[in-house]
Amino acid sequence: MTDAHCHCRTGADRHFVCEPFGGEPGEGDMAFFGVHPWAFLDGTAAEDGWLGRLRARLVANPAAGVGEIGLDRLKVRTIPDAMREAFRAQLALAAELRRPVVLHGAKCWGEVVKAAAEFSPAIPAFVFHGFSRSGGLLPDIFALNGFVSVGPAVLNDHAVNYRELVKAIPADHLLAETDRTSPDEVGPGVGEIVAEIARLRGVAADALAAQLDANAARLLA
């Protein structure tokens, strides 16, 4: 079983562990280095030279991807220029170093998809983490070699539109994630999330888990 987006290890066979780390990646995991969009809201990312330091760490770790990066309109009405510039700078870095990218796009997925498309010829693959918009953007996402990662929200039976979206994503572009930030955090494991996705889609959970592992392997290939 693969947890396609989290910030710490939780007991899956493989984790895509993104910064900010709540626990270091372990053997078999894939690490993603990057500055989260929220860091541009509270000033965490304001120190000079952050991009150069990120670049040096990526160069020193040739197997690492870039993430979690993106834009966010959950906490602010207007996206700050610094957030937008940092997103583009990190996409350019991923393109230059040919690394896969984990994207965050709360309430601004349209803009995130557009920016990703500009850099996509040189970026091997994208994880659309927590993607929750209606299906209209899916063809654009698949054209970028994008994978849609489904999170704990699928377990909420009031999330009717989201559960419909989860049913509509082609199996070969699907992933599952916990988005766990620390090992102590209470929340479902990736196995529960995969079981619910399988139930909604009317397929066997173990077959779906195998498909998602194959998708994760394809993404990293």
Give me the 131-150 binding string for Zn ion, x by CB under 5 A, dash otherwise. Answer: --------------------
Q: Compare residues 130 and 198 and give the one whose CB is closer to Zn ion.
A: 130
CB of 185 to Zn ion, least distance (A): 11
Number of residues that bind Zn ion (CB under 5 A): 1
> Residues 19, 72, 177, 179: which binds Zn ion (CB under 5 A)?
179
Side-chain half-sphere CA neighbours of 6 within 13 A = 34
Helix, strand and coil percent figures for the chain, each rounded to 5: 45, 15, 40
Binding segment (CB under 5 A) for Zn ion, from list 134-142, 175-183, 190-198, 213-221: 175-183
Q: Compare residues 68 and 196 and give the one whose CB is closer to Zn ion.
A: 68
196 part of the interface to Zn ion, by CB under 5 A: no
Binding segment (CB under 5 A) for Zn ion, from list 53-61, 74-82, 172-180, 186-194: 172-180
Q: Which residue has the tokens 């940092």?
A: 86
DSSP string, 154-214: GG-TT-HHHHHHHHHS-GGGEEE-----STT-----HHHHHHHHHHHHTS-HHHHHHHHHH
CB of 207 to Zn ion, least distance (A): 27
177 part of the interface to Zn ion, by CB under 5 A: no
CB of 36 to Zn ion, least distance (A): 7
Q: Compare residues 112 and 198 and give the one whose CB is closer to Zn ion.
A: 112
What does the longest C-alpha to C-alpha distance in the chain come to?
A: 51
Provide the b/e sequence for 180-214 (b: ≥16 CB within 10 Å). Answer: bbeeeeeebbbbbbbbbbbeeeeeebeebbebbbe
Q: Compare residues 29 and 179 and give the one whose CB is closer to Zn ion.
A: 179
Cα gap 133→121, rounded to integer Å? 24
Q: Compare residues 36 and 198 and give the one whose CB is closer to Zn ion.
A: 36
Closest-CA residue to 67 (of 14, 105, 122): 105
Q: What is the dihedral of CA 1, 142, 110, 176, to 10 degrees?
A: -10
CB of 82 to Zn ion, least distance (A): 20
CB of 121 to Zn ion, least distance (A): 26
- Closest-approach residue to Zn ion (CB): 179
Q: Which residues bind Zn ion (CB under 5 A)?
A: 179
